[in-house]
Amino acid sequence: MPIIAIQQIIEEVKDLPTLPAVVMEILNNIDKEDVDTHELAQKVTHDIALTAKTLRYANSAYYSTMIKVTTIQQAISLLGLSTVRQIIVTSALTGCFPENNCAGFSHKEFWKHSNIVAIIAKILARRLSFNQDVAFTAGLLHDVGTLVLATYHGADFEQVLAWQAEHQCTQYKAEKHVIGIDHAAVGEALARQWNFSEQMILAIAGHHHPEKPGQGFLATIVHVANGIAHVLNGNAEPDHSTPEITALSWESLGLTQESLDQVLAEASKEFQELQEKIEI
């Protein structure tokens, strides 16, 4: 049975390309409103590869406008600063994790799930008067550890997915059983290596177990958003492969049945639009 040690992961993530400085600036200042958009556009444009990827995303069906986006500044004007910041982050991450041939793992499905968790996290944050951009970004990044496993341990991760399918359990449980480490711990290691904020690190590390002391409220938001996203993405009733939402998380968010129904309706609408348009 293959076992992957956390120290091995830490050494591997050191070899990953660092995120561009402008991306780290976005992540570390995601809660700031007074951003000079012209300066931001100039910084992104200095990185040709990042600019190309960002414009490709901006012109994808999901972010489609009637006008062809040809510059970062134009993207900000048409789509808004918040949206473009998230496109830049996604573009940078996909550059670090090229698609591979890990059987059973779909990069398109991965990014679809990451985006819907981000959308739901943002909806929840809005209702809770929590910073929406921070919640969206945490939702987008919550499963980054999965990318590390699928990219650098493809053969082992294939076994994880096969075991998960056979035993109808969560990916998290299958990872712990097959390789002895889970994607949340891997994501935490990567987030620390990339010097993410402590709040973001804790949200990534604790999105399956936000009830652990010190994980923070953001981890709870992402945890609930992740559970809702898995339900929305299923065609049938949730089964054992769907991560359970802890009772404590529901209580801490103060969701009534009425407000939950409203969140589900809003998320379902945006999820359907994502399903129809996404080309990531």
pLDDT per residue as tens, the chain (280 positions) = 457 788 888 788 787 888 899 999 999 888 877 888 999 999 999 999 899 989 988 888 778 778 899 999 999 998 889 889 888 998 888 888 878 779 999 988 898 899 889 999 999 999 999 999 999 999 999 999 999 999 889 999 999 999 999 999 999 999 999 999 999 999 999 999 899 999 999 999 999 999 888 888 999 999 999 998 887 776 444 455 677 888 888 888 888 788 888 888 888 887 777 666 655 5
pLDDT of the residue at 63: 80
Question: pLDDT tens for residues 125-135?
Answer: 999 999 999 99
110 is a domain residue: yes
Residue 54 lies in a domain: no
The CATH number of whichever domain residue 218 belongs to comes to 1.10.3210.10
Long-range pairs of 227-233 with CB within 8 A, sequence gap ≥ 24: 228/120, 228/263, 228/264, 228/267, 229/113, 229/116, 229/117, 229/120, 229/267, 229/271, 230/113, 232/116, 232/264, 232/267, 232/268, 232/271, 233/112, 233/113, 233/116, 233/271
150 belongs to a structural domain:
yes
The amino acid that residue 163 corresponds to is: W
Residue 56 lies in a domain: no
Give the residue numbers spanning the domain of 122. Answer: 6-17+100-277
- Domain assignment present for 104: yes
The verdict on residue 235 lying in a domain is yes
What's the structural domain count of the chain? Answer: 1
Tell me what pLDDT residue 236 has: 41
Q: Output the pTM of the full model.
A: 0.88
Q: Is 186 domain-assigned?
A: yes
